[in-house]
Amino acid sequence: MNEPIAVKKQRQINIVLNQGNEKTKIDDGATLAGKEKALEQHHPLLKMEKDLNRLVGMEDLKYHVKEIYAWLHINKCRQELGMKAEKQALHMLFKGNPGTGKTTVARKLGTLFHEMKVLSKGHLIEAERADLVGEYIGHTAQKTRDLLKKASGGILFIDEAYSLGRGGEKDFGKEAIDTLVKAMEDQQHDFILILAGYPKEMERFLKLNPGLPSRFPINISFPDYSVEELMEIAKRMLIEREYLLTRDCEWKLKNHIEKVKQASNGSFSNGRYIRNMIEKAVRRQSVRLLNESSQDRRTLMTIQSDDLVLEERDLI
């Protein structure tokens, strides 16, 4: 109800003050008011985009978030006009290698969906096979139901979900899958289920469970990062922690990442690897600084080449 009045007001003022150039000013005024309203109205999306833009890459994910937001928003507009607004399940599959940001993103989505009132709480419950699968008949269903209860109003994020299909028909993992599927049907909109795992294993798992893929309308890939992206991740992590690398150190890190990526054969842990390297360098730098007399701001911030110790086992 507020919008037409604001637009009208703006138009009236423009007509009075700018008689020679009425038309342009009317349009500008309307556009400006429209933009302002859009900014205000889409605050959750803008906030989320700002937050997601702190993450390097992830174009697929950023698009999906916008799509979900737009769909929810338009549905709300339709409802306000008494039109049909279908509900859709927002269960998701995340496919990506270690350290590609799956858990980080799931946590952020919980917050967004809470702000958009899709989830009443927006918290994240992280689980893996052992949290769902029990030791005797009936135990698994109970454990899985308990977890679902905890996740109610939020996101249930099951990491390495393919391990539920590991033992075939007789394994209790199947009981966990059946209980999850039942919950997805019974209380479709009480929680969001995210199954996450490494791409190949997830593909195999979904093929073995043909009823599953269609229950997950949102499928997001988390590709491995390039060397440039990993360097950018490192820079952002350093800025966040108020550290910086000398040029030599930056060069050394980049060289090392190139080698590790080549040697790793798909087992490289992407962002987590970078985080571990940085945290280790920070600890080393602290030890070096213990013996230095000058501890000004610049010194405390700077990570030198010597602080970055690359051991053989770091090549994994």
What residue ranges bind Mg ion (CB under 5 A)?
A: 103
Query: Least distance in Å: CB of 277 to ligand ATP?
Result: 11
From the list Mg ion, ligand ATP, none, partner contacted by residue 98 (C-beta under 5 to 8 A by kind)? ligand ATP
Give the residues lining the site for ligand ATP (CB under 6 A).
55-58, 96, 98-104, 159, 233, 236, 271-272, 275
Q: Which is nearer to Mg ion, 172 or 273 (CB)?
A: 273
Residue 114: contacted member of Mg ion, ligand ATP, none (CB under 5 to 8 Å, by partner type): none
Angle among Cα 176, 177, 181 to the nearest 5 degrees reads 120
Out of ligand ATP, Mg ion, none, which partner does residue 100 contact, by CB within 5 to 8 A per kind? ligand ATP
Q: Which residue is nearest to Mg ion (CB)?
A: 103
Among Mg ion, ligand ATP, none, what does residue 150 contact (CB within 5–8 Å per kind)?
Answer: none
Distance in Å, CB of 310 to ligand ATP, minimum: 19
Closest residue to ligand ATP, judged by C-beta, is: 271
Minimum Å distance from CB 217 to Mg ion?
22
Residues 25, 30, 34: CA angle, nearest 5 degrees: 145
What is the smallest separation between the CB atom of 165 and ligand ATP, expressed in angstroms?
17
Return the number of the residue (182 or 272) whose C-beta is nearest ligand ATP.
272
